[in-house]
Amino acid sequence: MEVEEETVVSLDLSEYRKDTIDKLKIAIMTTSILMAFVIVLGCLILYVDGRVMLTEENEVKEMPEQWAVLVAGSKGWDNYRHQADVCHAYQVLHEHGVDDDHIVVMMYDDIAYSDENPTKGEIINKPNGPNVYKDVPKDYTGENVNPQNFIAVLKGDKEAVKGKGSGKVLTSGPNDNIFVYFADHGASGIVAFPSDFLDAQTLNAALQDMHKNKLYKQMLFYLEACESGSMFEGLLPDNIGILAVTASNSTSPSFACFYDEKLDTFLGDVFSVSWMENADS
């Protein structure tokens, strides 16, 4: 099955019909509002050494923790934007108080020091933007960025990733919140990894296992890929505490943005840049 390439456009969308532009604006605004809401909630969580609190009856209750899994499923200079998106997402979470030991990052890591990168060790997500690569944890890189490790990380399966990358997985519990962000190419019912694919059935089965095993209270899943709606439509139950927000519906492409003539590649994706720049503001 061939993976549909993302449609690439500049941010000047004047060539599109007005109704298409209006729909895109609504989608971006909705996404920005949702992410702002999630970030505000995260900021309200009190982090203390024991992560406990006292109720009015002086009962000790465990505080909810914030966890995140960030995945760039592509490799190669032409796909610069996916790793740039994920690095930027890490910076957003870090700035909003999520600890590094609660963030799992999967990225091929072939961009920052690529021969095609004139500024070694730097990745930007917008023209003249800051270096979003700085201090990003690299838990799984190269061939360790694959569907099997991704599913193992979500399900907290330490044995499955033993000896692979950092071995870090989610060790969340029933009171915790999880944010998953995935950026790459996609097609109907699949998203791509550097050398493999993840199908919608496998992903949704893993999410339902997580719910069954009480690994979270709420989960927000952002998916940046063409036809990304097909990964959840008709498959994700509406009663397991997961909100899935996708860059496109089940049949439409997603959009790249910020073409850099000097780097000869796109720096970001419209959906991803929208929620992150809102979170940065």
Active-site residue list: 185, 226
Rounded to 5 degrees, what angle do the CA atoms 27, 31, 35 make?
A: 175
The CA–CA distances, whole Å, from 266 to 57, 87, 118, 223 equal 55, 15, 15, 18
Quote the tokens at residue 131: 């270096």
Residue for token digits 């203390």?
Answer: 48
| Cα(128)–Cα(138) distance, integer angstroms | 24
Q: Which tokens hold the place of 218?
A: 């709420």
**How many H helices and E strands in the chain?**
5, 13
**Measured between alpha carbons, how far is 139 from 141 in angstroms, rounded to an integer?**
7
Burial class (CB in 10 A: 0-12, 13-18, 19+), 46: exposed
Which three-class secondary structure state does DSSP give residue 48?
coil
> Do 146 and 196 form a contact (C-beta atoms < 8 A)?
yes
Phi-psi sector, 18: left (phi>0), alpha (psi -120 to 50), beta = alpha
